[in-house]
Amino acid sequence: MTEVIVSGMEAYIPHSFSQSKPSKPWFNTTCFRAIHDREVAHKRTKDILRNLQFQKASFSNILLPLVGLPLR
């Protein structure tokens, strides 16, 4: 029984190792920092927009009825 399982594994499971990706000599610390800075800026922009949407919703749903103005 064990021989059958092992022979099936040897027949259907690949033995070779994948080739590593070639290095990118142009990708240096400057490129890494630029990508990191872009991602940080994107996150900050998303956070600012989310905060503005929250403030707008709070203003529209909480403060406007208190002063007697209609909801938008």
**Domain chopping of the chain, boundaries:** 27-62
Amino acid sitting at position 12: Y
pLDDT at 43: 93
Inter-CA distances, 54 with 21, 47, 59, 61, Å? 44, 11, 8, 10
Give pLDDT tens digits for 17-30.
Answer: 667 777 888 889 99
pLDDT at 7: 86
Could you give the CA distance from residue 17 to residue 8 in angstroms, rounded to a whole number? 19
| Pick from 60, 63, 56, 62: nearest CA to 72 | 60
- Res. 67: pLDDT tops 70: no
Give pLDDT tens digits for 30-61.
Answer: 999 999 999 999 999 999 999 888 888 777 66
- Global pTM reads 0.45
Task: Tell me what percent of the residues of the chain surpass a pLDDT of 90.
Answer: 28
